[in-house]
Structure 1
Amino acid sequence: MEGKIQKKIAYLMLTVFFISVLSGCERKHEAYVSASTTIRDNTPVCLVPEASGTVVYGNELVSVDASNTGEGYVMIAYHGTNEKVKMQLTGPDYMTYTYDLYGNDYEAFPLSVGGGTYSIGVYENVADSQYATVFAQDIEVEITNAMGAFLYPNQYVNFNSSSRVVEEAKILVAPAHDDLEAINYIYNYIVENFMYDYDKAENVQSGYIPDVDEIFEIKTGICLDYAAVMASMLRSQQIPTKLEVGYAGEAYHAWISTYVDDIGWINGIIQFDGVNWSLMDPTFAANAGSKQLKSFIGDGSNYVTKYNY
């Protein structure tokens, strides 16, 4: 077992997803080959968040269903008529996540920090950028499914059993022997087939939410689109995946991290071994020239995660 783990770690450090720094814009790829001879089960498993009704808070404008917080999510619905409604979720790390609320239906929001006290606030727009509080509630969370927040769909990673990305993921990973190969197949497809939309990046509005099936169809988008599509595909294959938002240098950016048994979380930047960059950032891997990428990433400290979805 120890030998297998060391072999996997060596692979991750040296060959996960290569971009050569010696060959201009050409990407050097070395395929990961699993030691297993058994094909992994590629049957999609799309978890469905539920508003079970056993633990509910609210008023005439807002409903909060905390029945399944142990699974790593809370369900929130707005029932009013105001067209500009914000929800803020502050976790035990005191980091505040701000979301837009849409319509009367429940939406799932991840409890990505783990157990502890979460504060929920809902606010209606009253004028310009001014909002008034219409609901506030603290909830106590005890997580029973440590990976739930990164397996269930949510507002940013929004998929279900009927989503095209789910079916495409099933097809792409069919030859895979283990989760690492499955990640490799999906990552390489995104890197080789998607193009960055510079115009969209210049004009994207605050509160933008990716439509993962639409992005997969047109195969162009911004960093949040890349990350949301890949996260949806991997989660549907029961591979825990974080959609991470933060800063790459001075640029606001999104990328992913995944969890693999016996290894743990594979973070956005793995390591530079003197020859190759090893990373799990599909936007840069698909678009940046290798010298440009090396100069930008530096030692990996340019990547600062602010939010996990």
Structure 2
Amino acid sequence: MRKWIIMLLIMGFMVVNPLKAEASGPVFDTSDLDRGVVHVHYNASHDRPLRVMITKGDQRYTYQLKPDGTVDSFPLQMGNGTYKIDVVQNIGGNRYSFVDSTQVNLALEDPNLVFLNSIQEIRWASEDPPIQNSARMIGDKTSKDQQIQTVYEYIINNYRYDFDKIPTLTSTYLPDIVQTYRVKKGICYDYSSLLAAMKRSEAIPVKLVKGYTSHVDEYHAWNEVYLNGKWHIIDSTVDAVYQQHGNDFTMIKNPSEYQKVYEY
């Protein structure tokens, strides 16, 4: 990935005093809190950029939100405890005004449930072609190791890195697994979202991770897969390129070669 993607992560904007409230504000749906996810939508009377800020302690994740009422799902991946969820809207430059907020308390017995959901960065549904294809490939395989290996090998053998896509991207870009599946190419963000969606649909916890690795010069995205009681790093983007060039590689990566910044 190019450095533009950092703007998706480090939102250096200023939140100022709220504007006059609209008749109908953002809707915070916490009906799936027991799965570690919240849904937010806002049918605003304007088209100004919106952001959702999710904070727990000194940690914060910032996401985009469409003003057209589209429902988006956001993970509560910072562990059990109290989360503050804010919606803010752009009022010019890097200045954002507070719109509304809510607080939720997360108390999951199994923290890995968070990493099974369809969320903004890993959007999937059971009827999506790549999800149906994953189910066909898995077939009667009952071993989680085999299931992961099957999908991983499918991706590294059938997808190509899309170098031409980089110059066309904007700071609001989000992966579309159906489009990636159709064109069989993408950037690391696309690879990681696709693998995560396909495995989450099989009830295997998978993270999409952003950060740095010695394998790539730029900001990067990869996966962590929960297998046999541990999280393991899988980088299908790097391995697809290595495969195409005849380089040696292993599916499970050395954690010392990866520096995590954000996880979803």
Q: TM-score category by the smaller chain?
A: 0.7 to 0.9
| Residue 111 (structure 2) aligned to one of 133, 142, 146 | 146
Q: Distance in 1 between matches of 2:247 and 2:146?
A: 27
In the alignment, which residue of structure 1 is the partner of 2:263? 308
In the alignment, which residue of structure 2 is the partner of 1:134? 99
Residue 229 of structure 1 aligns with an amino acid whose one-letter code is L
Residue 118 of structure 1 aligns with an amino acid whose one-letter code is Y
In the alignment, which residue of structure 1 is the partner of 2:61? 97
1:79 is the counterpart of 2:33: no
1:24-43 alignment to 2 at 5 Å? none
Q: Distance in 2 between matches of 1:299 and 1:129?
A: 38
Q: Distance in 2 between matches of 1:67 and 1:252?
A: 34
Residue 258 of structure 1 aligns with an amino acid whose one-letter code is V
Q: Distance in 2 between matches of 1:179 and 1:59?
A: 49
In the alignment, which residue of structure 1 is the partner of 2:10? none
Q: Distance in 1 between matches of 2:236 and 2:180?
A: 14
Residue 62 of structure 2 aligns with an amino acid whose one-letter code is T
Q: Aligned-pair distance for 1:131?
A: 1.4
1:155 is the counterpart of 2:120: yes
In the alignment, which residue of structure 2 is the partner of 1:254? 221
Q: Distance in 2 between matches of 1:113 and 1:267?
A: 19
In the alignment, which residue of structure 2 is the partner of 1:198? 163
Q: Sequence identity of aligned pairs in percent?
A: 29
Larger Rg, first or second structure (1 or 2): 1
Distance 1:299 1:75, change over 3 A: closer
In the alignment, which residue of structure 2 is the partner of 1:235? 200
- Select between 280-289 and 249-258 the one with higher mean Cα deviation: 249-258
Distance 1:232 1:120, change over 3 A: same
1:113 is the counterpart of 2:78: yes
Distance 1:248 1:140, change over 3 A: same
Q: Aligned-pair distance for 1:189?
A: 0.5
Is the 1:99–1:207 contact (alpha carbons within 8 Å) kept by the matching residues of 2?
no
* Secondary structure of the structure 1 residue equivalent to 2:196: helix
Distance 1:185 1:230, change over 3 A: same
TM-score (ref. length: structure 1)? 0.70
In the alignment, which residue of structure 2 is the partner of 1:216? 181
Q: Distance in 1 between matches of 2:100 and 2:172?
A: 20
Distance 1:232 1:59, change over 3 A: farther
In the alignment, which residue of structure 2 is the partner of 1:287? 241
- Select between 117-126 and 243-252 the one with higher mean Cα deviation: 243-252
Runs of 5+ in structure 1 lacking a partner? Answer: 1-57, 269-279
Distance 1:78 1:292, change over 3 A: farther
Residue 239 of structure 1 aligns with an amino acid whose one-letter code is I
Q: Distance in 2 between matches of 1:243 and 1:290?
A: 26
1:189 is the counterpart of 2:154: yes
Q: Distance in 2 between matches of 1:155 and 1:221?
A: 17
1:14-29 alignment to 2 at 5 Å? none
* Secondary structure of the structure 1 residue equivalent to 2:111: coil
Q: How many residues align?
A: 235
Q: Distance in 2 between matches of 1:196 and 1:218?
A: 11
In the alignment, which residue of structure 2 is the partner of 1:69? 33
Q: CA RMSD in A?
A: 2.4
* Secondary structure of the structure 2 residue equivalent to 1:109: strand
Distance 1:95 1:239, change over 3 A: same
Residue 222 of structure 2 aligns with an amino acid whose one-letter code is W
Distance 1:197 1:292, change over 3 A: farther
Q: Distance in 2 between matches of 1:196 and 1:161?
A: 26
Q: Distance in 2 between matches of 1:256 and 1:86?
A: 25
Distance 1:95 1:82, change over 3 A: farther
* Secondary structure of the structure 1 residue equivalent to 2:89: strand
Considering Cα pairs closer than 8 Å and 6+ residues apart, tell me whether 1 or 2 has the greater RCO.
1
In the alignment, which residue of structure 2 is the partner of 1:10? none
Q: Distance in 2 between matches of 1:109 and 1:117?
A: 15
Is the 1:169–1:186 contact (alpha carbons within 8 Å) kept by the matching residues of 2?
yes
Q: Distance in 2 between matches of 1:62 and 1:70?
A: 21
